[in-house]
């Protein structure tokens, strides 16, 4: 593959200087246009170490308006990065709509390096590449323009370049010890990289090779490829075409609220006050110990609460937080997104709340809004919420792979019980604020929500993150069921 | 002072249960009201270790609606905290308007502990307390309701409590080794704490003592004090009265643009193309080495760019970033605040961008907007922007104390030169987007901006963070002046 980037391309100084002003002018122009069009642009700078990727980043930063560019270099892993799933760092670096993220190093670095050093086998590399492909596809679906540049240098050219840099005192510092180590591994690196590029080349995120022997040619080509990609995107529809690599979920989507998985929840279960108090003490004490034990060995938890309006999410959450040391948990209430959140992919606002290892994140409503309220209220188009099942499973799988314990609760109540609680809320002065016209409107869509819930459970109750349907008619029973489940999940993980 | 919290207060179980429902109802009610009123509430939970502060946090979290509460415990310092000035962590924990931040541990913990252990002397404690007083005053000015609760326990009561907890197997784990260590230091701790409380007690952030021998009395009193403070605040004006502890700056505020410090900038300085290119190479190479050297010993930099429209901030920034490894710097362009930023004190959006040790943060416009555009356009009231001089100096002093090197540049050009550049921008197609009607409007207020700049320099050119006025008429000269200054500042610090 890389032979195509060993053709001896050069750009004369004269030609470079002749063409540069126009190139630069155009770059700044399209940058302005994509700000207006609110397109997020992700530029990945990768390739052979020693090909001058750092210089390219410099050059691009000089030619673009730096006010619209965020440069992210993934090198030193800080504590906050190591204590979270690896993609957390990448999510933090994604540019908001209208801005350019220049990624120096990326999600490709780690899998390729690991494979070159023989620390992972081929199937593991392929799995990592598959994850990358899905990740990029998801971002493309969301409107991101992904420009992937690969800077190539033949082994011979690399050797010459490093030797030359090392000779001069003023450039000596630019050659890192790892550069020579990588030179030794060149052939292996090229083989692994070819596989990586082939496995992740797609219409919506194509790879572009840049021959890097001649510096002027390299920088000019990089800028030209970026310019063309942006121009092309601006000229065509705002939303690019993405060919999905995975079919939409196969399990048929529920049409109405008849006979769903929720109907199988036994709502007649209850506890007496005495039973409740005894069990509450028991499981809260156990959960307290388990949360500390998990903290000690750095196992984190993500707890998701979903359910009907007035199902008792808030009071269940309070019973959970009462058990756990306040230093260990954080409650994240999910309401309307802020404008910073709206400027990103819908999952971004959840990734940003991923806690460091050993902590407990409690989500009061969650990413499942995508397939519940956004589906029912048509805030998301059918292809968007259908796709979300895959996206959500990928997200949760990453958390689980990192060692996080996920517990997801849907608290179920009957429609009659909801009505009773709504009326009660309206009658009690200090509960009145908890009931809004929106709650009544949602209630009218009971069947649509029921169908959506059924699909949600069918598609996202995975072996690594199953749903727990909670019998919520009796609040006492629900609280104990949740505490007991959390204890069981943690015991299993410890 | 603490004798007032050793009176033997108790609350019977019966009385507690009788009064609790109403208290809880009211708490949730006022919580809802303060959300509407967009008041941020900061509750500080501090006092004697062993007085049950953790239990109080639990109880409050149970009684309040946890969806509107963020609990922050300042205990384990993670890497991201250690690598920044100590207040960075507190700024991150400040609640946005309408929410409650429950702070378990706070800005009091460190100075008091350090003094108890004899690691700092009395004057240093007092300086830390002074900083706290100013910090709280600043938050109160911004509308925050600050509720400071001190949980007291006599030495005897503390001993009894720890012994009792330790005896029972189910509560044994709750006694930490530090609890007994602190018991030994009790008398010293009380003396230092008294000084801390006295030094930071004010009308807008008063201390409230809570006798903690009886648990029911303790929890109930804490909740009642919080309720009263919020009710009181809601009943009175939305903006509370804050008596400033420092007078407004004494140096008279400039009335118009005649004879300002800017007139002393020699705008006739220039460089030939050859001089420029030689010096550019020289200082960029030097800055590159210095930035790496600073990174090695974890000295960070903050570089601020301010100046007239079209003064050349962008092109100067590009010459700086071209010199520094992209892994080491971040450019932070300051435009209109996002809604998350608007929900906080105006300095919050700058604190959030404080980089970890050893990195370079480049601000393209900055917190000085408060005393420039916000003053001139009347976005900030006179008392607000006048106060800002102190607030900004405090902010920068904290950065400097932490070891950060601050460089602040005001790029000056003549009014004629600005006109020339505006026209040039309008004439060149790819520069046209850089000129907006707003630029022309700002130009009409030249004298007002000039006066504001004069005051800004007068009040914020401190010994620890002086302003550099840059002669910007010749762009080449300006760039070299900036690069040279940056090198000098870093050399001095290394």
Residues B224 and B273 in one domain: no
Taking contacts as CB-CB distances below 8 angstroms, the residues of chain A near B285 are 170
- Which ipTM did the prediction report? 0.79
Q: Tens digits of per-residue pLDDT, B248-276?
A: 666 666 666 567 889 899 999 999 999 99
A330·B70 Cβ contact <8 A? yes
Laid out side by side, the sheet with B207-211 consists of B69-73, B100-104, B41-47, B145-152, B207-211
pLDDT of residue A335: 87
Inspect the interface and report whether the beta carbons of A321 and B61 lie closer than 8 Å.
yes
Which residues in chain B have Cβ-Cβ distances shorter than 8 Å to A326?
Answer: 54, 57-58, 61, 71, 73, 102, 104
Rounded Cα–Cα distance for residues B359 and B299 (Å): 7
Which residues of B fall within a CB distance of 8 Å from A54?
A: 325-326
The reported pLDDT for the residue numbered B487 is 98
Between chains, do A338 and B333 touch, taking CB under 8 Å as contact?
A: no
Give percent above pLDDT 70 in chain B: 95
* B305, B411 contact by CB (below 8 A): yes
In Å, what is the CA distance from A82 to each residue of A78, A355, A401, A464, B419?
6, 11, 14, 22, 52
* B219 and B303, same domain (yes or no): no
Answer whether residue A255 is part of any domain: no
**Claim to verify: residue A295 and residue A220 sit in the same structural domain:** no
Q: Same domain, yes or no, for B320 and B452?
A: yes
- Is B170's CB within 8 Å of A71's CB? no
Q: Please tell me the distance from the alpha carbon of residue B251 to that of residue B231, in angstroms, as a whole number.
A: 40
Q: Do A203 and A276 have their domain in common?
A: no
Q: Which residue has the tokens 């991101």?
A: A144
Residues of A in contact with B70 (CB under 8 A): 330-331
Domain count for chain B: 2
Residue with tokens 């004269």: A14
Last residue of a domain, one of A235, A269, A292: A235
Whether A170 contacts B285, CB under 8 Å: yes
Which of A28, A322, A330 has its CB closest to that of B62? A322
Q: Sorting pLDDT into bands at 50, 70 and 90, what band is A171?
A: confident
How does DSSP classify residue A77? Answer: P
Cβ <8 Å between B289 and A173: yes
pLDDT band at A67 (very low <50, low <70, confident <90, very high): confident
- Domain annotation covers residue A246: no
Across the interface, do B79 and A80 touch by the CB < 8 Å criterion?
Answer: yes
Q: Would you say residue A455 lies in a domain?
A: yes
pLDDT tens-digit readout, A446-483: 999 999 999 999 999 999 999 999 999 999 999 999 99
- Among the partner residues A25, A292, A331, nearest to B67 by beta-carbon distance: A331
Does A306 share its domain with A345? yes
Q: Among A113-127, A171-185, B296-310, which is the least confidently predicted range?
A: A171-185
Contact A453, A470 (CB under 8 A): no
User: Is B433 close to A29, i.e. CB distance below 8 A?
Assistant: yes
Give the residue from B208, B198, B160, B175 showing the smallest Cα distance to B47. B208
Residue B287: how many other CB atoms lie within 10 Å: 22
Of B63, B6, B11, B48, which Cα lies nearest the Cα of B215? B11
Note whether A214 and A355 are same-domain residues. no
B327 and A73 in contact by Cβ < 8 A? yes
- Smallest CA–CA distance, residue A58 to chain B, in Å, is 6
Contacts of B66 in chain A (CB under 8 A): 314, 317-318, 321, 331, 333, 364
Domain endpoint, select from A235, A252, A284: A235
CA neighbor of A189 nearest in space, from A48, A330, A319: A48
State the residue range of the domain holding A115.
Answer: 2-235
Q: Are strands B360-364 and B329-333 parallel, antiparallel or unpaired?
A: parallel
- Does residue A15 sit in the same domain as residue A94? yes
The mean-pLDDT minimum among A115-124, A413-422, A428-437, B8-17 falls in A428-437
- B66, B78, B93: best to mutate for the A interface, most A CBs within 10 A: B66
Q: Is the domain of A374 the same as that of A476?
A: yes
Name which of A32, A59, A67, A295 to mutate to probe chain B: the one with the most chain B Cβ atoms within 10 A of its Cβ.
A67
Question: What pLDDT, on a 0 to 100 scale, did the predictor assign at position A455?
Answer: 92
Q: What is the DSSP letter of A142?
A: T
| Cα atoms in the Cβ-side hemisphere of radius 13 Å centred on A473 | 13
Structural domain includes residue A249: no
For residue B248, give how far its alpha carbon lies from the nearest alpha carbon of chain A (Å): 35
Residues of A within 8 A of B54 (CB-CB) are 325-326
| Mean of per-residue pLDDT scores for chain A | 91
Q: Quick one: A214 and A104 in the same domain?
A: yes
Q: How remote is the C-alpha of B64 from its chain's centroid?
A: 27
CB-nearest partner of B66 from A104, A292, A317: A317
CA-based nearest distance A256→chain B, Å: 32
């Amino acid at each position: 593959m890389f032979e195509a980037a060993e053709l001896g391309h050069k750009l004369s100084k004269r030609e470079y200087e002749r063409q540069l002003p126009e190139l630069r002018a155009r770059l700044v122009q399209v940058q302005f246009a994509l700000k207006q069009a609110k397109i997020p642009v992700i530029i990945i700078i990768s390739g052979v170490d020693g090909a001058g990727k750092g210089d390219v980043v410099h050059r691009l930063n000089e030619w673009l308006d730096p006010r619209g560019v965020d440069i992210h270099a993934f090198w030193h892993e800080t504590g906050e990065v190591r204590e979270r799933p690896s993609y957390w760092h990448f999510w933090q670096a994604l540019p908001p709509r209208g801005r350019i993220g220049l990624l120096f190093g990326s999600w490709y670095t780690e899998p390729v390096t690991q494979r070159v050093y023989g620390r992972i086998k081929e199937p593991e590399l392929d799995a990592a590449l598959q994850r990358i492909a899905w990740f990029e596809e998801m971002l493309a679906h969301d409107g991101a323009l992904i420009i992937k540049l690969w800077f190539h240098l033949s082994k011979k050219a690399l050797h010459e370049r490093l030797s030359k840099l090392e000779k001069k005192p003023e450039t000596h510092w630019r050659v890192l010890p790892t550069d020579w180590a990588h030179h030794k591994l060149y052939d292996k690196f090229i083989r692994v990289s070819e596989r990586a590029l082939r496995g992740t080349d797609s219409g919506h995120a194509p790879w572009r090779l840049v021959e890097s022997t001649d510096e002027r040619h390299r920088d000019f080509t990089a800028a030209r490829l970026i310019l063309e990609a942006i121009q092309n995107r601006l000229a065509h529809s705002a939303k690019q075409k993405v060919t999905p690599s995975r079919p939409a979920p196969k399990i048929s989507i529920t049409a109405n609220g008849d006979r769903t998985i929720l109907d199988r929840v036994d709502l007649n279960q209850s506890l007496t006050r005495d039973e409740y108090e005894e069990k509450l003490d028991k499981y809260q004490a156990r959960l307290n110990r388990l949360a500390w034990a998990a903290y000690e060995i750095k196992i984190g938890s993500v707890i998701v609460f979903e359910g009907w309006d007035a199902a008792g999410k808030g009071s269940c959450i309070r019973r959970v937080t009462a058990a756990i040391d306040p230093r260990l948990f954080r409650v994240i209430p999910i309401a309307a997104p802020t404008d910073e959140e709206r400027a990103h992919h819908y999952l971004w606002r959840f990734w940003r709340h991923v806690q460091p290892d050993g902590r407990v994140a409690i989500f009061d409503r969650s990413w499942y809004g995508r397939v519940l309220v956004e589906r029912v209220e048509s805030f998301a188009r059918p292809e968007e919420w259908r796709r979300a099942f895959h996206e959500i499973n990928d997200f949760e799988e990453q958390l689980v792979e990192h060692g996080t314990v996920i517990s997801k609760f849907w608290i179920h109540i009957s429609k009659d019980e909801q009505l009773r609680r709504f009326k009660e809320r309206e009658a009690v002065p200090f509960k009145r604020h908890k009931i809004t016209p929106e709650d009544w409107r949602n209630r009218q869509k009971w069947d649509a929500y029921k169908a959506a819930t059924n699909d949600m459970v069918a598609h996202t109750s995975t072996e690594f993150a199953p749903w727990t349907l909670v019998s919520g008619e009796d609040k006492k029973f629900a609280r104990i069921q949740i505490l007991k489940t959390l204890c069981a999940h943690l015991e299993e993980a410890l």
